[in-house]
Amino acid sequence: MEINNKNNTLNFKAIPIAATKNKFHGVTTKIDLYRLTKSDNSFIRKFASKVNFNDTLKNLNEYDRKRWRQVFDYAVDSILDNENNSIIAFSNNIPCGILSFFEDVRSLYLDVVCNIPQGNGRKVNFCGTTLIYQLFKYADILKVKNITLSAVTDGPFDNVSKYKRLGFKDLGMEGNYVKMSCNQYKIKETLDELSSIIDYKPLNTKQNVRLEDLVV
């Protein structure tokens, strides 16, 4: 965190990770990824308070709308837990997704990944997959044995099927969640598959970026 001595304002910064581009159903979407630090907590709180699920998701039934909001609120809390590692995705200078994970004895635990509904009431194409792609890249670099997660079964999307397509194996139910795991071989396999879909350009810079400057 940096404090401007002239007006005592706070400058919240994030670390650029990569600029990505994908093509889905003929539509090209650019997504930029940033690593969050505890200095970004105030920005996250401020931004989260402005996300209005009722206005942006009018065409979604009330239960799914509330459930999506619950997952989003959980994701925000996970990001604010300074023990976790967190990534935020931007598309067209608007936050479109967040992911939080932590390391656990030669493995990574995906705590949450959540799309952020846009003004048109839709998700940004491939946002969640792009965030998970970045997680897989971390896992490959760290040479972890597996990535584990607990997938919700009562949300607005079929997350279990999506994770299976990304190489995760169903380990059984635990409450309203499905425990899942992806081993190091599947991680590499999925990375290769996604590399043909996602144009990924790492941003090798140590210069932080003010998130407020990115938001239109």
Q: What is the CATH number of domain 11-214?
A: 3.40.630.30
Q: Is the pLDDT of residue 135 over 90?
A: yes
pLDDT tens digits for range 136-163: 999 999 999 999 999 998 888 899 999 9
Contact assessment for residue 130 and residue 31, using Cβ atoms and an 8 Å cutoff: yes
Stated length of the chain: 216
Over residues 68-90, the mean pLDDT reads 95
Q: How many CB atoms lie within 10 A of CB 50?
A: 7
The single residue listed with the structure tokens 């932080």 is 208
Q: Is the pLDDT of residue 214 over 80?
A: no
pLDDT tier for residue 12 given thresholds of 50, 70 and 90: very low
Could you tell me the two tokens for 3? 């404090």
Domains of the chain, by residue range, sit at 11-214
Give the pLDDT confidence score for residue 5 in this predicted structure.
32
pLDDT tier for residue 207 given thresholds of 50, 70 and 90: low
Could you tell me the two tokens for 151? 């997938």
Over residues 57-77, the mean pLDDT reads 93
* CB crowding 85-103: b at 16 or more within 10 Å, else e: bbbbbbbeeebbbbbbbee
Q: Is the pLDDT of residue 62 over 50?
A: yes
Over residues 181-207, the mean pLDDT reads 91
Q: Is the pLDDT of residue 25 over 50?
A: yes
